[in-house]
Chains A and B, each alone.
Chain A
Amino acid sequence: MLRDTLFRLFRANEVKVHELNYLFWECTTRCNLHCRHCGSDCMAASQDVDMPLEDFLRAFDTIPVKERPPEFTVVLTGGEPLLRPDIAEVGRAIRQRGVGWSMVSNGWFYDEAMHRKLMGAGMGALTISLDGIGEDHDWMRGRAGAYERTLRAIAIAAKEPRLNFDVVSCINKRSIGQLDALHDKLQSLGVKQWRIFTIIPIGRAKNDPEMHLSDAEFVQLMDFIQARREAARAVKEGPRPMNVTFSCEGYLGRYERKVRQNPFFCRAGVTIASVLIDGRICGCPNIDRDVFSQGNIYRDNLWDVWQNRFEPFRHREWTRKGRCAGCPVWRDCQGNGMHNWHGDCSEVINCHYAKTL
């Protein structure tokens, strides 16, 4: 009880301070895969042109140096960031500003040479996606051979002590039965952190029933993560087991603090912003950009926008509607993650809490 109250006070203070420390850059929407769950509906020949590095840097440089905390990270995302031929130049330019950078990749192009190139450009954190075993990963990713390529990338990254590296998995109806196999495979490759999330019904995944877990399957997933975390805590000697965690995608009711380290706190617009492919400024890239974008770097000053806008992200009373109106856990959930509000925002499209009841 006291712990929950203290966390609410902490969260309220974080909102008030709204220190920007995590900036996504959607640096391309081109992609070499065709994932069934892609929220951005990327494609190899995207109509969007990659944003020039100098455009992003011009926006980034509006953030005063003294306002960049030590943990400030620019996260390169897409599309597939490794399709940018200037990816190492991008990384170096960010590091030269005293800021760290990281990347979300599907791993297809990530071989030893690419690894050395990116480490040489100062990459400090990396996330690679693995969504199933063998053909089930390829099915999810829409390309044969993706599984083997991804395993190669994971093996390379897991050996690198200078990287804060994790693997993410979108669990769906096919992979829910592969949790133990995925766990053992990743652990055998030396992975130290495995982050699991589920798929929100947007983009290509919206009308694909194989993407969405039933409530019973969702609880099965929570129980799996909880059991793995408890087993890891019980290990007192020898190598530390892989840290399995659920992503911060939604409020989990009775599973809060049991499947991840910290209580739910959607930080979009609180500590997280993004610069999207067309220059729009938003929270996380998977948030409805047509509804929640707060400005555009080609028209606005990024730092001014961060300081003076983002009202819907920082004051979420507006989410008390539909099934959230009168919900007994709203003050801890606050309408779930911002990516769960789309279109006319008349109703939250995904309630994790309800799945756990």
Chain B
Amino acid sequence: MKWLHNLLKGLSLTTALFVFQACYGTPEWLHDNALPFKVVDARTGDPLEGVGISSRVQAAENLDWIPCGVTNAEGEAFVRFGIMEGANPQFRIEAAGTDYLVKDTVLTDLSHHLVEIKLSKAE
């Protein structure tokens, strides 16, 4: 029963049941750092496919941009990223090889159900 599985997973008291380590493997990713993105053309609203989304954390010593998703034909990407206590994640949205301008954004509210990004073309 998938609904029961999802219900239990959504309850904080039982989340621990879903965080496990294969006896031979690594710890799992901390799975609270994930958001769906949708990237569209700022003028037409059309979804943009193949747009790369990278993330980094402001307070981190290492400020490399980490690729964490590419949009599909609907302009959607499910993006996972690291967060640190007291720091806000930054995102770079880049449609490489196109006229669209690179967009950087900082998320201060991580309770979004969907992060909508509008990309504009260079004038």
Contact = CB atoms under 8 A, between A and B. Distances in A.
A341 interface: no
A218 interface: no
A190 B103 CA distance: 37
Interface of B: 1-2, 4-5, 8, 16-32, 34, 52, 57, 60, 62, 64, 66-70, 72, 77-80, 82, 84-85
Interface string A54-94: 00000000000100111111010100000000000000100
Contact of A16 (B1, B31, B77): B1
A95 B62 CA distance: 17
Contacts of B62: 116, 119-120
A14 interface: yes
A234 B80 CA distance: 35
Given A95-B66, A122-B68, A262-B16, A267 B84 contact: no
A116 B19 CA distance: 26
B119 to A, nearest CB: 18
B27 A95 contact: no
18 contacts: A10-B17, A70-B80, A75-B25, A95-B80, A97-B70, A98-B68, A102-B25, A102-B29, A104-B26, A120-B64, A124-B82, A126-B26, A162-B60, A164-B26, A195-B21, A262-B17, A272-B22, A284-B22
B66 A122 contact: yes
Interface stretch (A17-25, A42-50, A171-179, A221-229): A17-25
Given A116-B62, A120-B62, A124-B82, A96 B26 contact: no
A103 B78 contact: no
A24 B21 contact: no
B26 A248 contact: no
Interface in A124-156: 124-127
B26 A285 contact: no
Report the 4 A-B pairs with minimum CB-CB distance, sorted nearest first: A71-B31, A100-B29, A120-B64, A102-B26
Interface string A1-34: 0000000001001101101011010000000000
B5 to A, nearest CB: 5
A103 B17 CA distance: 22
Contact of B21 (A17, A77, A248, A339): A248
A318 B27 CA distance: 30
A100 B15 CA distance: 18
A288 interface: no
Most chain B Cβ neighbours within 10 Å, of A103, A122, A261: A122
Contacts of B78: 65, 68, 70, 98
A238 interface: no
Given A65-B78, A70-B80, A164-B29, A337 B23 contact: yes
Contacts of A120: 62, 64, 66
A65 B72 contact: yes
Contacts of B19: 71
* A-side interface mostly: mixed
B23 A197 contact: yes
B26 A125 contact: yes
A98 B55 CA distance: 12
A240 B123 CA distance: 54
A262 B29 CA distance: 17
A193 interface: yes
Contacts of B79: 98
Nearest to A285: B24
Contact of A13 (B1, B25, B67): B1
Given A17-B5, A121-B66, A261-B16, A162 B82 contact: yes
A47 to B, nearest CB: 22
Most chain A Cβ neighbours within 10 Å, of B34, B52, B57, B85: B34
A122 B67 contact: yes
A128 B80 CA distance: 23
Nearest to A197: B23
A328 interface: no
Contacts of B24: 77, 104, 247, 284-286, 339
Contact of B25 (A22, A71, A262, A265): A22
A268 B77 CA distance: 29
Nearest to B34: A70
B52 to A, nearest CB: 7
Given A13-B1, A22-B25, A96-B69, A248 B64 contact: no
Contacts of B22: 22, 24, 75, 248, 267-268, 272, 284
